[in-house]
Amino acid sequence: MNARTWRAGRQFYKRVSGPVEAGDLIVRASELSRAGGKTPVPGYCPDRSAISFPMIEGASGVALIDQAALSYLLSPLQPLRRAGILELPPFDPFAKITMRLNAKTPQWLRARLGALKDMPFEADGVVHGDFHCGQMILDESGNLWLVDLDDMAQGPVEVDLGNFAAHLATRPETRRRRLAEGLPFWAEQVQQAWDELGEVCNPTLFRRHVDIAVIRRALKLHDARGDSEIMAALEHLPLLSR
């Protein structure tokens, strides 16, 4: 829960700016459901300036790693790729990084970003935009629900796969002692799990998005929690995509 979300009884509410934002989120959820995905389809509550949908009871977060196969946790991306949502912006992998840069940003980090920006980027489908275990709910029947569609955009699936791997490599519950061990470990696990689903992944593009996502995570952890461990480890960590 945060300032934009709250629960009342069996309903979950998320504040929106008005009917346009509400309509966009309803369309996204409806199209994902039509494509075969599990996601709660909200309704608009203008009196509350919010959208609402029934609460889904179940497990969420990194606890899912011990409750389901990794390939199953990636399976919500399959219907997402099929969703016919046309009016989505292109995904900008650097948007949440740029907003955190300032005069104190070290030169090595700017150089790292520069190396990643030199690589090509193509939008070839729908991406969640912030895909990780906290965006899924495993209900008692074993159904896996995908939630929080605010960041949906046009982009390659490697965006979501890379973010998923970077989260696992940087979460206290799942990261290894050293980022130099954990990041390639989880990248390999995620790529293998995607292969098990019979899906195609561009290895170079995937590793590039792992590299970008771990920078986003390092900056967020540093700014929000004062956790500089990941940032310090990044300074001496070679890019996976090089």
Q: pLDDT-based confidence at 4, cuts 50/70/90?
A: confident
pLDDT at 187 over 70: yes
Q: What is the mean pLDDT of the chain?
A: 93
Q: Which one, of 212, 207, 213, 231, lies nearest residue 221 by Cα?
A: 231
- Return the structure tokens found at 89: 């912006």
Does residue 238 have a pLDDT over 90? yes
pLDDT in tens, 129-164: 999 999 999 999 999 999 999 999 999 999 999 999
- What does the pLDDT average to over 225-235? 89
User: What integer pLDDT is reported at residue 215 of this predicted model?
Assistant: 97
Q: Please report which confidence band the pLDDT of residue 121 belongs to, taking 50, 70 and 90 as the band edges.
A: low
Q: What is the pLDDT of residue 87?
A: 83
Mean pLDDT confidence for 69-78: 98
Strands (E), 16-163: 43-45, 50-54, 59-60, 126-127, 136-138, 144-146, 153-154
pLDDT more than 70, % of the chain: 97
Phi-psi sector, 209: left (phi>0), alpha (psi -120 to 50), beta = alpha
pLDDT at 85: 78
**Position 40 pLDDT exceeds 80:** yes
Extended beta strands in 110-203, E state: 126-127, 136-138, 144-146, 153-154
Distance CA 89, CA 126 (A): 10
The closest alpha carbon to 37, from 70, 67, 73, 82, belongs to: 82
Does 3 have pLDDT greater than 80? no
Number of Cβ within a 10 Å radius of residue 90? 11
Residue 232: pLDDT over 80: yes
Q: Is the pLDDT of residue 2 over 70?
A: no
Could you tell me the two tokens for 90?
Answer: 């292109």
State yes or no: pLDDT of 219 exceeds 80.
Answer: yes
pLDDT band at 180 (very low <50, low <70, confident <90, very high): very high
